[in-house]
Structure 1
Amino acid sequence: MGLALLPSALFFALFFFLPIGLMAVMSFLTGNPVVMPNVTATTRHYERILDDPYYFEVMWTTVRIGLYTTAATLILGYPLAHLMARIKSRSLHALLLMAVLMPMLTGIVVRTFAWMALLSDKGVVNQILQALGFAPMQLMYNEFGIVLGLVHIYLPFMILTLTGVIGRIDERLEQAAQNLGASPIRAFIEVTLPLSVPGILAGSLLVFALAISAYVTPILMGGFQIMTLPILIYQQISANFNIGFAAALGMVLLTLSLILVFAYNHILAAVSGQRDLA
């Protein structure tokens, strides 16, 4: 058994734990030890983050965009996922699955530029609004544009996660609730929705983690006017060459993701415990 797990352990050690460990070490150094032999240990990078409210504002902006994206994908994705899980026709199910997966065949940069062509000041949407007599709207270089682009990119992840979980829920449970007098809506709210909570949490965890670590879409749709942690990390490396501070910001982003994972496991354990008691 141990030998069978050895390749996986080596893979994670080489491509996950080693890079994370190096980033953690770099966040406590005054410089890059490869080009600066006289580096020393320091906590000034984290002190800089804690002392400046600007970085807390950037963290909150990053988390807020992640929450908006997660909520929007859940609201839009759950009905379609429920339909895909309950549909009887295999051909229609395959057609819906193809429609969900098709956007993923196009690169993120191409899809983001497509949204820019639609939402820019002289884009298709504003031209239509002007033709109808309305004033043009600021649809880009704000959080709305970023969230819209991220929802389009990460909606398939939410749908596919929910479809797998809802598909494993026995339809006879809903039918039994309706036979006992519950309306279809009440049967869904009291039977299907609680049983699909693990899928909701898993899809939300996945989308939120991807949204707060996204770089291409926020930088193109936000135009550096909306600052998030990934953009700030890029600036520290490309413009300021401050590897240590960028590593500290990366550790903060990783910590936010780990807090989410622990919260997810706690909620899932609580939901499973309540289901066992029921």
Structure 2
Amino acid sequence: MAFVTISGYPSSGKTRRAEQLKQHFERRLQDPSYDGPPLKVMIVSDDSLNLPRSVYDDGRAEKPARGALFTAVQRQMAQDTILIVDSLNYIKGFRYQMYCAAREHKLRVCTVFVVAMHEQCREWNASREDGRAYAPETLENLLMRYEEPSSMVRWDSPLFTVPWTDADVPADDIWKAITEGIVKPPNAGTQAVPKAPTDALRTLENTTTTMVAAIMAEQAASGGLGGPVTLSLSSTLKPKVDLPSRNVTLSELQRLKRQFVTVHKKAITLGTTEKGAVDWSEESIADKFAVYIEGNLKP
């Protein structure tokens, strides 16, 4: 249903804002005036995945941890869920990756930027007694590397900035964004490419070869009169093709067959970007080849 990305400096109060959002959402969902679909509110965070702050000490450890977070986020994305991801999310490329996943699931999205001054983050981090503090050098490194969200880019929009001076989050505006915002279609580049069946190449070659032989046989039987011809390829496969009123040579048909097979072989081996399922059955190939012959044979 919706996907909310929490982003901010380390030890800036992101978890508190995520909990505030969760409480607001649950209160609205339980309100008698709410008439929308039944929804649940979930938070996925480093803490919920038992990822220690030490994973940010080393890039080699951070990468698999970020992968675990992304996997957990994808697993929880659903039409009946408002999902809040509470983590640093300091890399814009990672925010874009999650944004694309949300679009794949047809979810509304928004980003909440939790703002605090560097000195405050250092102070709050040093005062933590829950075992979740960052090492001082790691904190400084993350502060320098942080890539701020921007309302000018689509994966961070709509963007809600929550400064440290605010007692609460702008719940009304965020609720409107996740319940009334535009559901963006999936990126074409991220959509799965439909694959042809394993026997598609053999079916393509056999069907077109059989059609060429059938056309030559029908032409010999009719004396080259042309016009609409029904080809009996099998008891159930009888495509129709409109031939010109002249003798079509075998070399012409073989040339058209090679061109047709070459074009469609590329679609089979590389996949196709056509929307919906692609039909590689004998009937579909025969009909397509008949149309190709009619459009490319000279009168």
Interval of TM-score (by shorter of Structure 1 and Structure 2): under 0.3
Q: Scaled by the length of structure 2, what TM-score is found?
A: 0.18
Higher share in helix: 1
Q: Which has the higher strand share?
A: 2
Q: Which structure has the larger Rg over C-alpha atoms?
A: 2
Higher relative contact order (CA 8 A, sep 6+): 1
TM score, norm. by length of structure 1: 0.19
